[in-house]
Chains A and B, each alone.
Chain A
Amino acid sequence: MGEDALDPVIHTQARLRIMTTLTALPDGDRLTFTKLQFLLDASAGNLSTHLRRLEDAGYVQVVKGHQGRIPSTQVGATRTGRRAFEDYVAQLRILLTPPTDPTETQEER
């Protein structure tokens, strides 16, 4: 068990930051595309590409709506996405915990 156990959909700088941002909100909350872009300091094109990848994996939901007459896209983490992120963080914790005894190998976990 090593770094390859980390979910490849999340384990890139860009997508890890997107997932961290969306899961930091309470369940059921979404961010407007503009706000997400601001929080990530990302270009619209770059963000769209990564969101599509996360949407394909079922981790985020992109809702296209309107705010009055102005089109407004909203993005939120799905249940699956939240679970995947929790697993990712749990996996990170394991990788970051130094083994206490060299004879106690990974089978312990």
Chain B
Amino acid sequence: MVEDTPLDPASSAALIAEQRAKVEAATDVDGRILFGAWGVAWLLGFGLLWLVNSGRLTMPDEAAFLAFTALLVLAGALTTWHLAVKGTGVRGASARQGAMYGWAWFLSFGVVFALGVALDRAGATGEVMNLAMTVASLLVVGALYMAGGAIWEERIQWALGAWICVSTIAAALVGSPQMYLVMCIAGGGGMLVAAGVEAARRRRPRVL
């Protein structure tokens, strides 16, 4: 930090713009990365489930499910890492808000997991389990994206959540195995579109 080089209005304005960009780069959660990672994971994961469940690809069910889970875990790890990096050194209101929102995700998926255990104990068939777990997980994702969009007034995130809910309604109505194709194209595709919209928004120059 250079001390007290004389400032004129133009260099003040330039300094503000430069510093704002630096702070934003260091603290702003990047929708391109998060939506992009989940979009790719859904596109490949649901795509694989569709190929296997519709008999287009011969592969043990367990292996396909394992690959699907691995893709989601990868996207989840990338999300966690990204949020941790961006949140380092930031304290106060938004850190508390973020933590509460993070717990909402964690506990909601705890409920989905418990639903799976309960259905299994009650003697649900594999088909019922697949349907219920897919739809319940997507419900959580869609609802929490909409909630996140409302909390942070981020239209893209809200619209993505609404789109995931609509896609999930369609997926539930067509049932297995076509629901996987719906979530591959509409869900994964929707995420990638959101990442693209976010990228376009960021290219718009900001004024002083």
Contacts and interface: CB of A to CB of B under 8 A. Distances in A.
Interface of A: 3, 6, 11-14, 16-17, 20-21, 24-32, 34-36, 38-43, 46-47, 74, 76, 89, 92-93, 95-96
B15 interface: yes
A29 B22 CA distance: 17
A80 B93 CA distance: 18
Contact of A20 (B2, B3, B19, B90): B19
Interface string B88-112: 1111111100000000000000000
Interface stretch (B5-13, B122-130, B165-173, B186-194): B5-13
B27 A92 contact: no
Q: Which 4 pairs of residues, A with B, have the shortest CB-CB distance? A: A35-B89, A28-B93, A42-B1, A24-B23
Contacts of A20: 15-16, 19-20, 23
Given A35-B88, A43-B1, A27 B208 contact: no
A25 B23 contact: yes
A29 B92 contact: yes
Interface of B: 1-5, 7-10, 12-13, 15-16, 19-20, 22-24, 26-27, 88-95, 208
B89 A92 contact: no
Contacts of B27: 24-25
Contacts of A21: 19, 22-23
A13 B5 contact: yes
Contacts of B5: 13
Contacts of B10: 96
A47 B2 CA distance: 11
Decide if the interface of chain A is mainly helix, strand, loop or mixed.
Answer: helix
A11 B16 CA distance: 11
Contacts of B91: 29-32, 74
A25 B90 contact: yes
A39 B1 contact: no
B9 A24 contact: no
Contacts of A25: 23, 27, 90, 94
B148 to A, nearest CB: 15
A77 B23 CA distance: 14
A12 B5 CA distance: 7
Contacts of A43: 1
B94 A92 contact: no
A39 B22 contact: yes
B93 A14 contact: no
B90 A17 contact: no
Contacts of A34: 89
B90 A16 contact: no
A27 B93 CA distance: 8
A6 to B, nearest CB: 8
B16 A16 contact: yes
